[in-house]
Amino acid sequence: MLRSLGGHSEVTRRSLGGVGSVSLLFVPLRFPPCRPQKFVRDLILRRCFSGRVLDAGCGIGDNALYVAKAAPGTNVTAVDVVPRCLEFAAAKADLRNMRSQVELVVADLLQENVSCMPRALGHEHNGTFSVILDSSTFHCFSDSDRERYVSTLRRLLRPRGLIYMNCMSEEETRPGGPRRISVPDLLTVFNRPNGWEVETIEDSIIEVHPTFWGGQAKARLFTIRKL
């Protein structure tokens, strides 16, 4: 279905913080067999990636590496708060001779003090990303944390830039996993008064480990434009 619109654990948070901290509670969801998510493969076929691309909460790097290889001309930066995830991503990039094609950055996208961010995400990169990819990151946050997260995305995304955000849907009723994101819930964050336009909403899936939920969960893919 495609609709067009006009418009945790406290110990885990303290030990890791930011993107990836909550998601570690759902390891089977965030770390499926080593391949890019189906919605990312579909976006590639639709030629949705160009210019500078930020993979926000990249995990072990499968989506970022795929975009860098399958969308020539893109400049991909992959970010996660968990250093071990980036070590896996770097090892994969090395095996594929792609180390120079993806910039891997350990960073907390909830960090509000830009001077504390790595140089790759500092003030000089404000408004320089054409596309942001969010594969199962937004739905890991509390209301207050996602406000900080979205503020960072807004700072980094260029005017008229796009976010492709794949979130678990409330139609996924099986127990476990992250919070579910309904359309009204997402629209409380991404709306015209806040400087965003949700352009399309598509039924989607999240590919998970085959031993969990038969290998996939119900999701939605939101295409969001910065105004």
Cα–Cα separations (whole angstroms), residue 31 to 21, 86, 157: 14, 13, 26
pTM above 0.75, yes or no: yes
Residue 21 pLDDT level (bands cut at 50, 70, 90): very low
Q: What is the DSSP letter of 6?
A: -
Here the tokens at position 132 are 């942001």
Domain that holds residue 44: 2-226
What pLDDT does 209 receive? 85
Residue 12 pLDDT level (bands cut at 50, 70, 90): very low
User: With left for phi above 0 and alpha for psi between -120 and 50, is residue 166 left, alpha or beta?
Assistant: beta
Tell me the pLDDT tens digit for each residue of 39-91: 999 999 999 999 999 999 999 999 999 999 999 999 999 999 999 999 999 99
Tell me the pLDDT tens digit for each residue of 135-160: 999 999 999 999 999 999 999 999 99
When divided into structural domains, the chain yields a total of 1
More confident residue, 148 or 4: 148
Question: For residue 217, what is the domain's CATH number?
Answer: 3.40.50.150
Residue 28 pLDDT level (bands cut at 50, 70, 90): very low
Long-range contacts of range 119-124, CB-CB < 8 Å, 24 or more positions apart? 120/77, 121/77, 121/79, 121/152, 121/156
* Contact (Cβ atoms closer than 8 angstroms) between residue 101 and residue 76: yes
What pLDDT does 34 receive? 73
- For the four alpha carbons of 46, 132, 166 and 93, in that order, the dihedral sign comes to positive
What pLDDT does 53 receive? 98
Burial of 65: CB neighbours in 10 Å, binned 0-12, 13-18, 19+: buried
